[in-house]
Structure 1
Amino acid sequence: MLELACISKTFNPGTVNEKKALSGVALRLEKGDFVTIVGSNGAGKSTLFNAIAGAFYVDEGAIRLAGEDITFKPEYKRSREIGRLFQDPMRGTAPHMTIEENLALAYLRTAKNQNAFFSRTSKAEKQFFRDRLALLDMGLEDRMKQPVGLLSGGQRQALTLLMATLVPPKLLLLDEHTAALDPSTAEKVLGLTREIVAEHHITTMMVTHNMKNALELGNRTLMMDSGRVVLDIGGEERKGLTVEDLLKRFKAGAGRELDNDRILPSE
């Protein structure tokens, strides 16, 4: 489903602020893979997501999605096939628009017809929105005419998750999407993530600072350091790993210990 062929990216080349953010990252994901990604600040995790989503073009290498070369495809066109959630619950929604209008925009973002407008959503489509909202079990199906800005952070993040998967994308990128939420809300959103990804068999990449989640979620775990993938583990080998084992494997691959205060080893 996704192939990264030795992609590299350097910001501010030739200046005192030169930063090699990605260095020859090679990766291949099969359809339905759920990959968790761990690494310290500055390891290149969000930069990797930006490269895949098209926030910038890579300097070297190629990116292929479902067999199509998207290396130089504009970000707005990639968004029809790639869903993304950010750490900040305020991103990904239009606060002054209603819940229904936000869902309509998300639903029609994949429309190939240039005459498709969110104001023309049918009665059946609105009922579809209501049915999907009901699955969140947050009562949002009865608040469809309310502005999104009135929702709590957890409700907005759950809504954003629904918007990103309303039309199941080929690839879902989750960039620490529960990090800004309180523990109980984060667990609820994580549970919704599991259910939606499993229901639609969506190929998913999730950045997390929770080492326990990194081993329990999905079928594969990557660890990054200095713009490189230093560990890629899955299958039976991953099943028996503990958080301590994962930290040891990181040290072996990166040549140093994982030193980040935000890393949560056992929570």
Structure 2
Amino acid sequence: MLELRQVSMTFNPGTVNEKKALTDINLKLEAGDFATIVGSNGAGKSTLFNAIAGSFIPDTGSIVLDGTDITFWPDFRRSKAIGRLFQDPLKGTAPSMTIEENLALAFLRASTHTSPLSRITRADRELFTERLAQLGLGLENRMKQPVGLLSGGQRQALTLLMATLVTPKLLLLDEHTAALDPATADKVLALTRRIVEENHITCLMITHNMHAALELGNRTLMMDNGHIVLDIAGPERSGMTVDDLLDRFAHNAGHHLDNDRILLSRQDGAAG
């Protein structure tokens, strides 16, 4: 479904700021896979997402989505097939526009409504109301309110709905609960799990919560210095603890994780 073949990227080559961000990344996701990604800051996680989303063209390698080579597609063309959420709840929505207007923009961009004269129908509005109600946040009664009036958690839940209103071929979640308080983060993660499972969405999720990394989805990847150093699934993953995961990382990467957010998450409860 998604396949990365020998993808590499170096920023500022030949300068003192040269950074090898991705090195010969090979990754294959089957339809419906939900893989979590962990790793220290600078490991290459967000750069991997940027490569998939089309923020840049990699130096080498290819990116294939659902059998089509999209390596040289611009990001706006990929956005019809790829949904993405960021860590900052302020990204992904237009604060001065209403909830309904934001949903309409997302719906028209991702659906077959390709004409510039396309309009939202009554049936479309009914769909928006129905899907908002499923979030359980009362947003279906605030359709005419500007998104800027929503809390961070409400905006992130709305952005998640916008990214999946028309089921994407791939959903990228870039620490989409990191800026939220723990209780709100748990709610958004629970929504994420339900929406992804119900719609059988192929998903990659970056997280610093090690419990969530092992409990959400069906596969866990760990990155270090531009490489995927761990890729676990099945019985091996289901029987693994956070300490086991950290020990495996130390063995494969040759050093211990020193990221405070990851290490502190060893004490957190499971989310979702």
Match in the other structure for 2:46: 46
CA distance in 2, matches of 1:131, 1:209: 32
Note if contact 1:87-1:177 (Cα within 8 Å) is conserved in structure 2.
yes
Percent of aligned pairs with the same amino acid: 70
> 1:266 Cα deviation (Å)?
3.0
> 1:60 Cα deviation (Å)?
0.4
Total equivalences in the alignment: 266
Q: Deviations over 1:161-195 (max 9, x none)?
A: 00000001000000000000001100000000001
Match in the other structure for 1:77: 77
TM-score, normalised via structure 1 length: 0.98
5+ long unaligned stretches in structure 2: none
CA distance in 1, matches of 2:180, 2:38: 19
Note if contact 1:108-1:117 (Cα within 8 Å) is conserved in structure 2.
no
Match in the other structure for 1:150: 149
Match in the other structure for 2:202: 203
CA distance in 2, matches of 1:139, 1:110: 25
Match in the other structure for 2:136: 137
Match in the other structure for 2:266: 265
SS in 2 for 1:258: coil
CA distance in 1, matches of 2:59, 2:50: 13
C-alpha root-mean-square deviation of aligned residues, in Å?
0.9
Match in the other structure for 1:21: 21
SS in 2 for 1:121: coil
Structure 1 residues 117 and 158, CA gap change in structure 2 (3 angstroms): farther
> 1:262 Cα deviation (Å)?
1.3
Match in the other structure for 1:67: 67
SS in 2 for 1:262: helix
User: Which stretches of structure 1, 4 residues or more, deviate above 4 A after TM superposition?
Assistant: none
- Residue 78 of structure 1 aligns with an amino acid whose one-letter code is R
- Residue 97 of structure 1 aligns with an amino acid whose one-letter code is M
5+ long unaligned stretches in structure 1: none
> 1:112 Cα deviation (Å)?
4.4
Note if contact 2:38-2:206 (Cα within 8 Å) is conserved in structure 1.
yes
SS in 2 for 1:56: coil
Pick which of 197-206 and 103-112 moved more: 103-112
Match in the other structure for 1:213: 212
Note if contact 1:211-1:266 (Cα within 8 Å) is conserved in structure 2.
no
> 1:117 Cα deviation (Å)?
4.7
Say if 2:240 is the partner of 1:246.
Answer: no
CA distance in 2, matches of 1:66, 1:17: 36
> 1:83 Cα deviation (Å)?
0.3
